[in-house]
Each structure stands twice: as structure tokens, then as C-alpha cells.
Structure 1
Amino acid sequence: MSRPCSPHFTTIGLGGAFNGRRRELPGALRPPSRFVDAEGPQTIRGMPFVFGAADATDVVRLEDDRAITIELGGARATYVLLVHAVEDIVTTYREGLADDQTTGWDLGQLVSEYALEYDDGSIVRTPILRRFAIQQSRCEWGSAPFACVPAADDDVLPSGDEMALRGRPVLEAAALPDGPELGLTERELVAFSYGLRQQTRTAAPGADGHLWIYALPNAEPGKPLRRLTLRPREAASAVYAVTLTELAEHPLRRGTRQKLRLRLPEGVHLKAADAIDDVSVDLGSVISARPALDYDAGRWASAEPMVEPSRSDREVIVEYAAHPAARLHVGDLVHELGQASSAVTAVASAQRPVRLRFVDGGSGAGVAVRLHLHGEAGEYLPPRGHHRRVDITWGQDAAAEFVNVENQYAYVDGECVADLPLGTVFLEATRGCEVAPLRTSFEVGPETDELVFELRKALSWRERGWVTADTHVHFLSPQTALLEGRAEGVNVVNLLASQWGEMFSNVGDFDGATTFGANEHGGDGEFLVRVGSENRMHVLGHISLLGYSGQLIQPLCTGGPEESALGDPLEVTMAEWAQRCLDQGGLVVMPHAPTPQLERAADIVLGVVDAIELTTFNPFHPSIAADYGQLNAYGVADWYRYLNLGYHLPLVGGSDKMSAGMLLGGIRTYARLGDRALTYEHWMDAIRGGNTFVTVGPLASLRVEGIEPGGRLRLPASGGTVQVEWEVESVRVPIDHVEVIVGGTVQDETHVGGERSARGRAAIPIARSTWVALRVRGSCREQVDEIAAHTSAVQVLVEGSELFSEPDALTVLDQIQGAIAYVDTLATRPDPRRLSALRATLETAHDRLHRRIHAAGVHHRHALHDADEPHEHKKASV
């Protein structure tokens, strides 16, 4: 909506005082382009001004000691507001050294004198000093004046995710002030605007400067004013418009941030991204107007894994910063701020700074937590240094924060200061899968300075030799990753450098040597971060290279968009990347199973893969979990395929965190270290050993005849019955039932009924070579049959029986042929020798599996792809 105008001002026409034309002003006094033709009534910062007509004299030029008089006709005012500017000058600090830029840094020059004359003949004169009451139009950052403000509205820009939800990921030139004057195209404006959108506010500087508004105080506000006299002194200046006010508070000084709860009138509705175009403040700015959130007190006090509020569709929380006399405009209705009504309720100001400390309930030591706070109106209360509105857009500020649907969180390292309202405040603090989450409320009074909260460990799997890890994190700095890992109870965070076209992430953090958080690098050794890389190709696939030493494995991406840059040739196979990682002492993981599905099949057959990763961005988010599952069933099924072929690969879990909407450690790897000390090298050894499980909450262990996952049990040719023992425990996620999986099918099932722990045994008959694993079902979101945890497998090898599955082998072979077809047809080609080497790698994998298929006596269809054919696939037989 257009800027509303405050009724607390009276404009003064300058028709009789104008003595020049704006278009004829000299270069040093030329107005910004947006004011060159401004004429008639104008509303600036909610205040009315009247500019001169463009076809006549339309500016007051002050120069050559010629005074200009403006009649005020006996009006009364506390302040006289003027739109003006002084001529540009070059700043000279030292002749011959710093004497050639128009910076606007100069201050103190007596530009002019403004005199108020009263009806009784008395006069009060005010000196107008450069960079105090007036400033030049062209000036650099850092030259802000001290007693005047830009003649431009404070714009509150929507964040990146708000823009995307509104269907405007690409901005129009008009979306930012003076875009055309800056010479930016629409797409260039996207990049230009992201920084502004993260700070949410801009005063619209424009490409060619500002005019300035000064509020001249009236020393005798009770006396009628006869005239205003403007007299030039040491510099030329220009005055464009004048208005009066009787407000007691300084009209240019805004108040502190406030909130209110507003019931929307008929005809005003929420739009995409919760936008409400019809809510504004005249003497101030609406920072946000978002749906009110209502929390159920009973649910908040319950043991539910995640409690989300309900969103109102008719009430909003309006956050604003305004003058005390400002008015709120909602559609055609106007509300006086500070006055309660049936539609407007004040929300208690969050102005009481309180130190919140979080300690371990056993030792009393400070602990990092993921923290959520909200007030009685449901308003989020961020700790200092954190966003009030956390942006979840990919590629935005990678702060130590998280969002789940409506709940926003901040990661804090043992303590924080939060500005809280007086009254009841609601708190949630969590620390991963073994610590009981704390969800409570407390009272804040006028004397509340500090509060201490204890979090107690409920499970002791770390003490039993298990450690946690997230194998797949992007964009965070190592220190932020370390903080989030500590708060989420993730012992090992793998931060992966990579490339997205012309964008690179975490490359400067890689040195092939440092494990952040390790004792030798000043940490406590309990929480570690290591920078590796995710190397990617948009068709052949992605591969995560963890913990390797030496040089960064390049190229990070290959083959052109969407992963590497447009025009890049296909320089390398994933198998070559993997081998280089192994040669440099690293760990090779196939990420986010089952996709992308192509070369991953060849690399597993070639034996250069250490583990397969399951990924979910955030298991607590309904739509994300609905799309991908907590543990992706397709990824689990893909892993079963390789187990059925005898590829004894462990499972790992990684979040693929790339924004605040993704939860580090939301899916995680547990690996058993046993008695070994936690070091990154020992963790890699534990993953290679294969005694792991992946979880979004429940913890699970398995033994088959005393052998743990990653191990092998050998039986005679006659087979036999094996004893399976298992245990599951959970802090937050209820356990529905537990399944013993043999060769991909359920052989034993125990219904747990939502309890948080269970143990079981099963006797499983084995006739031929197979594998055994444990699958746990339960839901973060009260859904049915979701997979919440899965152990890696124990191989059971029966003498004389090979682990082999004909349909799985043929599917894997098809994928390898698809990779060869891509290399032969669409891949942007490198030089012939490199192309031949790429193809040879894939052919080796194809030949190796093909021989196994024939050795098993399987008669299968001919190859899907033949390089000698003119097409990318075999011709159909006629």
C-alpha cells in the first residue's frame, strides 16, 4: 500500500520563496534523480511536504548572502521540518595525498542560518552546520549526519525465503530503489539484493544521493510564528519543502521495537509467505506482520517429540518501530498505537535482558543446547546475536540456527542473554538422542537477571563406547559446525567443501590436516569437526570423501551444470575420486541413497566405497519427512540390493544440511568405538569396521551369535539356526515395533506399542548365505510404519553358498550400462585419452559383475548399451 501520512503535520507552501529551478542547479547542488521532477504533495517518512511545480521555480537557492523569508502566518510549532541539502565539496585531509574525493566526511562548516521570528518580534537564530543539520547529497558510507535523516522511507525488505514463497525468486527492477539508475538487470538485482534482504532494512540511498530532513526545534513553541528566514553563510545550499508539527517528541526519532496482536478486519487477508500488504505505520515501519502462533499448554508440558503451534488465519503479530504518535493503518482502518482496542492488543515488550545458563545435571558443567523461547502471545524470543526471523532459503546466512515448521531455534554455547518480556516465557532446550529434552515455562520479573536450567542424561550409549556422527554437512563454518554438533550431541561433524556452478563452499576451510575440536587443536576431544569434500557430477552421481589428508581432491565437480560450471568437460569418474581419497587415508561414502543412481553401482562393484549414507534434511518436518521418509525406504531398499550381492557395506546417516531448515544430526550415525579413544582416525576405523546404526532417535544394537554388525558368521553347508539378540532405547521418539531383517525380509517382529525401550531374542533358521540386520519403526510425527532406525548387517555365510541375487545383479548391471551410455552420448567430452580412461573404469566394473552373473549360471538379456551402435541403447530386435 502507499505510504500513509500522519495528521500531526502542517505543510507550508514555498511558492513565494522559490528562486530557482532544480534542473538548473549547479552540479554540486543537483538533486537526486528521484527528486528532480517531484512536485506537489509528497509523503516522506509518513510526513507531508509540498514540493514546487516542475514548470516553475521550484527550489530555494541559498547563496551570495541573500536571505530568503518564508511567512508562517502565526502558526504554532514545536519543530519546523525542512528538506534540504548543501553543495558537495571535495574532502581534503592533506594536500597532494588525500584531497580528491567527494566523501561527505567534512563537518562543522557554517552552511547557513535559520531564524524563527515570532509575532512579538523576537527572533531565535540557529546555525546550520555541515554534517549536523545538513549534509551534501553525494557522500560515502560512513558520512552519516548527526541531526538530520535521509528524505527517504525506511524500507523493510522481505527475506529470501519470503520472496521465494511469494513466487518472486527473481526481482523486478522496481523491487529495489534505483535499480535502473544502478544499471542493474533484473537478474543482477537478485545478487545485489541478498545482503539487503538479510539486513531487512534499507533507507533507499539511490545511485545519486540523498536530500535530508532536519527538524529545527522551536525554543518558544507556545508563541505564534511570524516567519522563517533562511540566510546563507559559508556554503551554497538548497531548500525544497517545509512542514510544521506540534509533536512534543522529536519527530525524526523513532521508538524502540514493539509488538502487538492484531485481528485483521474483513477484506484484509494473509497472502503468500504470510505477507499482508495492507498493514503499515505512518511515522515508522512495520518490521513484520506474521500469523499469531497459539501453543497448547498441555502439549507443551507433554513428552511429544516436537510440539508445534497452530497458526491463526485472522490474527497476526505486528512488529514495528515507530514514533510514539504513530498510527497503525490496516486496510481502511486506523488504530492509534499505544491504545488497546477490540482488534489490537499490546504484546509485552521484550526488554528485560536475562542471562540463561544451561548445565549438565550430573556435573554442573555448562553445555551447548538447541534453544527455543516464546512469550505468552506465541512470539519467538531469540537470544541476542540471533535472527528474529530465521531465513531457511538455500544459500542464505548459515547462522547457528534451525527452523522446524513454525518453531525457531538458536544454538547457544552453555549460556546466552535473551531480551525477555515480563511474565511467562516458554522454553525448550535439547541436546541430542541421549539427553532428556527440557520443555518448560518460567516467570520473568523486574529483578530477574539469571536463570539456570539442568539437562540430564537419560541414556548412556556414549559410555558404552558408541559415538555419533553426521557424515554430510555444508556451508557452516567449522566453529559453527562444532557448536551445533555439541548442542545436538553429534561427536563427529563432517563438513564438506563443494561447488555449485560458480559458487564454492568451505574450500578455504580445508587444509587436509586439522580436526577442529581435537585435543591437539585446543578442543576437548569429545566433539570434532573435519572438513572433507562432496565431489559431484549431475548424472553419474555424488560421492563424499571424508577425512583425507593432503591436497583437496579436485575438480570438486565435473561435467557441467547443474553441479560444475557451464562448459566444464567430464574430467573424472567418481571411482577415480574415491581411489584418490583412499590413497590419501580417507573414507568414501555414497551419499543420500539411492540417488543419483548411476555410477554408484560401478563404484560399489569396484570395491572403492566404504559406506552407504541415508539422508533426511529434517525428520521432524511433516512435508520433508513425507517426501523423503525419516529413513528413506528407497535408500534402505537400495542398500539391501548390495547386501544381497555380498557387498558388505555399513550404513551411515547424514543430514545434507544446507540451510537453517535442515537439522544437523537430525539423522545420524552411531558407530561403536569400544575402548578406543575418540579421535577422527579411530572414528573412520569404526565406520570401516561396520558396527553402526542410523537413527532419527531410537538407539539400537544387534548381535547374531554374539557377532555385531560389520562382522561375519560362518555356518557349515547344512546351515543352522542362529540366535539373534537386540536392544532398543529412545528418549524422544516412541518405538512402535522392532523387526529382524534377514536377506531383506522380516523374519521376526516385536510390537513395542510406543514404549521407549525394549529387548528381544529370536531364533532364525538359515539355509543359505544371507545377512541379518535390525529395523526399528517409530515416528517423530505420530505417523504409521515409518523407519526410525536401522543397524548395519551381520553377514551369515553358509559353506558352498554364495551371496547372490539375480534380479539385484541385473538391476545393478543396468545402472552401470546407463553410466557408460551417458559417457558415450551426452557427456561434455574431455580429450580422447581422458575419455578412454573414464570409459575403461566403467567397463571394468561392468565386466566384473557380468562375469559374476555368468558364473551364477544366469542367462540374461543382451546389454542395453553398445558403443558401436549409433544410438545410446541397443536396437530393438525385429
Structure 2
Amino acid sequence: MDEEPICREGTREVIITLPREEDARESAALEVEVDRGVATYPYPLPEDTAEDFLDGRKGWGEAQNEGSSPSYVEIAANPSAIVQVKRDGEVLGEARWSEVREQGCVEASPRVQLEVVERGRNWVHTKVIDDATGKPVPCRVHFRSPEGIPYAPHGHHAHVNSNMGTWHFDVGGDVRLGQITYAYIDGTCQGWLPRGEVIVDVARGYEYEPLRTKVEIEPGQRTLELRLKRWRQMNEEGWYSGDSHVHFLSAQGSLTEAQGEDLNVVNLLQSQWGGLFTNTEEFTGGEMATDNGDYIVYVSQENRQHFLGHLILMGLKEPVMPWCSDGPGEAELGGTLEVPMAEWADRCREQGGSVVIPDLPSPNGEPASLIATGRADAVEMLRHGTYMHGEYYRYLNCGYKLPLVGGTDKMSSDVPVGIYRTYVQIPKDEPFTYDNWCKYMAAGRTFHSGGPLIRFSVDGHEVGATVQLPGNGGTVEVLAEAESVVPIHTLEVVQEGRVVASAEETKGTRKLSLKAEVKVEGHSWLAARCSGPGYEQSVPHFDGWGRGIMAHTSPVYLACGGEWWMFNQETAQYMLTLVDGSLHYIRHNSRLHLRGDITHHHGEEDHLAYLERPFLQAQEAIHRRIHQLGVPH
């Protein structure tokens, strides 16, 4: 025989280049067939050069190559094998494997070039060391060749789910940010690395300097040490980070990824998605923590209704059921409206838990009623946008104190836990515990971060405080500072939603600060925020949502000559309209069982009256405020 009938060689990496621009731009996947061997799926390589990548946004991903050239594939074949490159069944080019190997680079056709880039490889044990402690530190890592071919640590993916969707699928242990899949490790990993030049990309949340650099792997080398440097220790300053909104990870997986992102708290939420119930088995009614107590996972719930809204229930000791209501896509097919969100909030509060309205204001049925009746401890911002900011400011300007929290709504592997996170300030004479984190979140001692770490004070008072001024107001001094491992362009102080002080660096920077005097003529609030050019034009992360890099504090409230209050008649009427709309939905559109056929979970005879009650309470609360202020309506 001229050759073995069965290929006995290992795979070699081959880069596929499509010289014609129209072929290269085409997003349809390439197919590689080998008649006497095997080939992996081909994957697009980065469009940027290695040098461009090294100068890019370290540790936080890379733009996805949406085309199909260059791509890479791994091939193991007999010398006589024919390698074909196809798209939608059409052969774009073919070459004999022996020629590809011997020549290194061949023109398979005018439309296809094949190049072998295998340089040999070593099985390498890697340690990532905290530069201050000298000990391995949990983080996420990515290794690649100069061409961009990924080398995942053993046990991890080079491409999570082959770069396809991952909703409730393949969610834990790895994360994809655009082109790059990162592996979460405990500070150690092992696996194949190519000989010669290797590019590493390592990150650990927002308080460590990301590391993106070249290393050299010599023949025979079996170990590699990398070092991460912490540039900020927020815990020592009394601030503790958390993600308000995570789905589908296991409790242990949440703890692993929390440590990899240096995230102190993960709120892992049970929920229902039609007939699918998730994380049921994870609930214990208590926290799960690392031995040193620095990282905590608490399994609670997100209860959801498609029209009235969603609600995060933190710190539950017992489940609050039913989890979802009134049919798809939240509850079961044909399901009836069994519970308003107010009932969920009340049951959570009875257990000593905290209630957060996620992704304010969507869905926008019951949030206004919850806010009017004081059932919401905080509101969450999942994305950077004018609409979300406007809704938040609207309620503040109507006199409702609402702390701001950040969360991810992580449901897939293209969202890192804590890419949007909440920093909560706990007094230095009190310990970091989950209960204290929730307590001071509800007290408004928070800022939302999608990268920047922001400080803000008004006459020396920090976020969440109420500053007492004379009845005629006065002038206050505001100090704001933002530092970030990802670029920021604008730092602003807003008063009642209006910009009253700002600092800007049009080219982007890592640090901005400002000091200003702000005139106060009556009850008011101030907050600090930072983001991209002009603030509203945010620079997107490479996560699946393309969330904007930003930070925003909860307010400092300014009370003039007495207890703080504010009122806006337009917002009050807006809230009444939402309450009326929800009542109309309940009475005329929701699916309900016939009266007398059902004994409901609440045990009341009149189910419709039970559903209407919190909305009638909200109407009364809003009208009471209007009448107390003597506002005609």
C-alpha cells in the first residue's frame, strides 16, 4: 500500500482565505470536506491584525468577524486526500492534502487559498498570579496564535456552542465577548498552546488591570506564569459589587464566575418560561459563599407576567408561588392570571426580602402601582438608553426615592456576570453579608457600573443621603470622579435629569473628575453619571446585548426647609393612566377561570377583587398626594 488506509496523524491548523471580496463578506458558513480524513467546522478568524488586537480593549472582547474570511479549520488526513471548501454545496476550491502540507500555502482555486500554520505545540500548565498576594487568582483567560486561532484550556470551549445561540444552553464555565471565548479558571489551567508567539488575554472584573500581551512558548516548555495587578480595592473602601439578575447558571457555577469577575454577590433567580422551570433544584432559602465569605450566591426568584411586568425577589427563605402567571411567554400555555406583582412583593417583604423592579419600565403595566404604594426597594437598569433614563428620572421628580441597581439578566454565554453590576456601600463598622448588601441597596447607597467606578458627593454627603438646606435653598458643592479600565468620555452631574456640570475627553480616557457649585432653589436631587461622547452616545461592550459602557449613581436628595418631597403633576397623571390601563387589562383582557369553579392560592372568594386591590390602593395613594398638595386635576 502507498499509504495507510486510516489516517494516523493528528490535526493541523489550516487558514482559509477567500481573495474575492464578495466571497469574504458572505456570512454563510463555509464547509470543509476531506475524503480520506477528518475536518472540524471552519470558524472565522479576527479581521484585525495581532498588533491591532494588542492595542484594543484589553480583557473585554473583540469585534466579531461577521464574514467568512479569513477562517480556520483543523484537518487530519492521508496524503492522497482531497480537501474541498464549499458554501451551500457549491465547491469554491479543492486541493490535495499532500500538496497543502508540503508547500505550506496553495491556491486551491482563484476563490480559495489554503495555508498550513501548524508550528508544533506543548501541553502547558498555566498559573495566573495576583501580583499583590503572590497566589493564583480566579479570572477568565483566552489564548490565541498570532493569526487569532484560539487555544482553550482543557475542559473549556474554543467556541462556545460553535458560536451559535446559547439561551439556556451551554451557559456556564465560559463566556463569549464578540470574537473571543474566555474560560473561567481558578487561577490555574492546562492544555495545548502553540510553540512560538502566543497572545494571552486575561481579565478579572473592573478592579484589576486586564492583561493582553505576547508570550513565547519554547520547545519543551511545560509551565507559564502570568500576573494580574489590582488597581482598585473597592471592598476596602466599603463598596461591594453584585449582579441583581442572573439566570440558568448553577449555584456553584455562579460562585465560580463571580470569583472570575471579582463580583461579590450573584442573585441567581429561579423563574418560569412557559412549561420550563429553571433553577428549582438550587433553592435553599439561604446563601452559598466562599470559605472567606468574600463571594456570595443567593438563589431567589424573578416572578413574571407578560403585561403587568417582572419582579426580582431577593433574599427569600421560601419560594413565592406561582412564579409566573397569565400564559405565554412567561407562564404555561393557556394559563390564567392568578396573582398581581404586588402580592409577590408583599410575600417577599414578609420574609424580610427586598423587591427590585427589573429593566425599568418594561413591561410597563404594574411598576407605577408598585412605586406609588412603596412596594419597590429599588429599580434596575439593564441597558443604557434615553428611554430608561427618562423613566427613572420621571419617578424621582415626582418624589419617589428609588435606588438604582445594575444587573445583566444573564441567560446566555455571551453575557458575563456583572458586566452591569451594582456597587453597594456598607458602613465600615458593619460586616459584608448578603443581608447588609440588600439593606444598604434599599437605603440607596448604590451606584450602577458597566465599567467605570464612580465617586460622588454633595457637600460631603455620599449617595443615598438627604442633605438639609434652608427653606430658600442655597448652593452646594458637588465632587464627582470616574475611573475605568474601559474608555470613558463624559462625566456629568444631573439635577432632576438636567446636566448642571460636566467634564469631557473626546478621545476617551481612563479618568475624569469635576468640582462645581450647584444652585438649589427647592427640594431636588442630584446624581453623577458617565459614559461615551455626550453621555447618551455610549461605547458598546462586546457582550450579546451590546450594552453601553456607563456608570450612574443613585441620587443625593436635597431637602429645603423640612422633609424632602417633590411632585410632578404630569407624572402623577401618567401613573394614573398606567394604573387604569392595568385595571382594564385585568377586567377585559386577561384570562380568568369562571367564578365558583376554582379555589385559588389566596383563598379569597372574589378573585377579581383580589387582583384589583393593589391597583385601587395605588390610585388612592396617588390621589391622596395630589389632594394633599392642593393640585387641581
TM (norm. structure 2) is: 0.88
Q: What's the offset of the Cα at 1:496?
A: 0.5
Contact 1:259 1:347 (C-alpha < 8 Å) held by counterparts: yes
Q: Secondary structure at the match of 1:764?
A: strand
Secondary structure of 1:275's aligned partner: coil
Q: Partner of 1:575 in structure 2? A: 342
**Alpha carbons 1:543, 1:588 under 8 Å: kept:** yes
Q: Which of the numbers 293, 300, 315 marks the counterpart of 1:532?
A: 300
CA separation of 1:739/1:310 partners in 2, compared to 1, >3 Å: closer, same or farther?
A: closer
Q: 2: CA distance between counterparts of 1:682 and 1:247?
A: 74
| 1:639 aligned residue | 392
Q: Identity of counterpart residues, as a percentage?
A: 36
CA contact (8 A) 1:259 1:349 kept: no
Instruction: Provide the C-alpha distance between the structure 2 equivalents of 1:379 and 1:387, rounded to a whole number of angstroms.
Output: 13
Distance 1:370 1:511 in 2: 28
SS in 2 for 1:370: strand
Work out which of the residue numbers 52, 55, 72 in structure 2 matches 1:302: 55
Aligned counterpart, 2:535: none
CA distance in 1, matches of 2:427, 2:213: 36
Per the alignment, residue 365 of structure 2 pairs with 598
Shift of 1:512: 0.8
Larger of the two Rg values belongs to structure: 1
Distance in 2 separating the partners of 1:613 and 1:796: 23
Q: Post-superposition shift, 1:302?
A: 2.9
| Deviation readout 1:492-532 (Å, 9 max, x if unpaired) | 0111111101111111101112x1225xxxx2211111111
CA distance in 2, matches of 1:660, 1:538: 24
Output aligned runs, 1:344-493, within 5 Å: 344-348=114-118, 351-391=121-161, 392-493=165-266
Report what 1:718 is aligned to: 472
Structure 1 stretches (4+) deviating beyond 6 angstroms?
Answer: 265-268
Q: How far 1:759 sits from its partner (Å)?
A: 3.4
Question: Structure 1: any 5+ residue segments left out of the alignment?
Answer: 1-245, 617-630, 861-878
Change (3 A) 1:498 1:272: farther
How far is the alpha carbon of 1:831 from its aligned partner? 5.6
* Distance (Å, rounded) in 2 between the aligned partners of 1:552 and 1:320: 52
Distance 1:268 1:710 in 2: 56
Letter aligned with residue 838 of structure 1: L
Given the alignment, which residue of 498, 511, 514 partners 1:757?
Answer: 511
Separation in 1, partners of 2:497, 2:519: 15
Give how far 1:482 is off: 1.0
Contact 1:733 1:780 in 2 (8 A): no
CA contact (8 A) 1:712 1:797 kept: yes
Which of the numbers 77, 83, 86 marks the counterpart of 1:328? 83
Change (3 A) 1:735 1:310: closer
- Asked if 1:788 corresponds to 2:560, the answer is no
Say if 1:300 and 1:440, in contact at 8 Å, map to a contact too.
no
Cα–Cα, structure 1 residues 495 and 282, in superposed 2: closer, same or farther, change >3 Å? same
| Most deviating of 397-406 and 494-503 | 397-406
Q: 2:599 matched to which residue of 1? A: none
Structure 2 spans left out of the alignment, 5+ residues: 86-90, 108-112, 533-537, 596-605
Asked whether the 8 Å contact 2:403–2:446 carries over to 1, the reply is yes
C-alpha deviations, 1:240-273, integer Å up to 9, x for none?
xxxxxx3532x24564333201234779946976
Question: Is the alpha carbon distance of 1:309 and 1:531 closer, same or farther for their aligned partners in structure 2, counting shifts above 3 Å?
Answer: closer
Mapped partners of 2:594, 2:619: distance in 1: 23
Q: CA RMSD in A?
A: 2.4
Q: Report the Cα offset of residue 599 of structure 1.
A: 0.3
| Cα displacement (A) at 1:849 | 0.8
Secondary structure of the residue aligned to 1:442 is: strand
Question: What is the CA–CA distance in structure 2 between the aligned matches of 1:396 and 1:812, rounded to whole Å?
Answer: 39
Kept in 2: contact 1:511–1:552 (CA 8 A): no
Shift of 1:406: 1.1
Give the direction of change, closer, same or farther, for the CA distance of 1:571–1:723 in structure 2 (3 Å limit): same
TM-superposed CA distance for 1:851, in Å, is 2.7
Q: Is the 8 A contact 1:280 1:328 kept in 2?
A: yes
CA distances 1:284-343 after superposition (whole Å, capped 9, x unpaired): 333212223243343333363556367465432122344454220232643122333242
**Greater shift in the superposed pair: 453-462 or 529-538:** 453-462
Alignment of 1:809 with 2:580, yes or no, is no
Query: In structure 2, what is the Cα distance between the partners aligned to 1:763 and 1:527?
Result: 39
Partner of 2:591: 828
- Normalising to structure 1: TM-score of the pair? 0.64
Q: How has the CA–CA distance of structure 1 residues 772 and 264 changed in structure 2, closer, same or farther, with 3 Å as cutoff?
A: closer
Residue 71 of structure 2 corresponds to which residue in structure 1? 316
What secondary structure is seen at the aligned counterpart in 2 of 1:838?
helix
Which piece of structure 1 moves more, 792-801 or 422-431?
792-801
Q: 1:416 and 1:643 mapped to 2: Cα distance?
A: 48
> Relative contact order (alpha carbons < 8 A, sep ≥ 6): 1 or 2 greater?
2
Native 8 Å contact 1:492 1:528 kept in 2: yes
Do structure 1's residue 743 and structure 2's residue 496 form an aligned pair? yes
- Alignment correspondent of 2:487: 734
Match of 1:221 in 2: none
Residues paired across the two proteins, number: 591
State the partner residue of 2:285.
Answer: 512
Q: Which residue of 2 aligns with 1:607?
A: 374
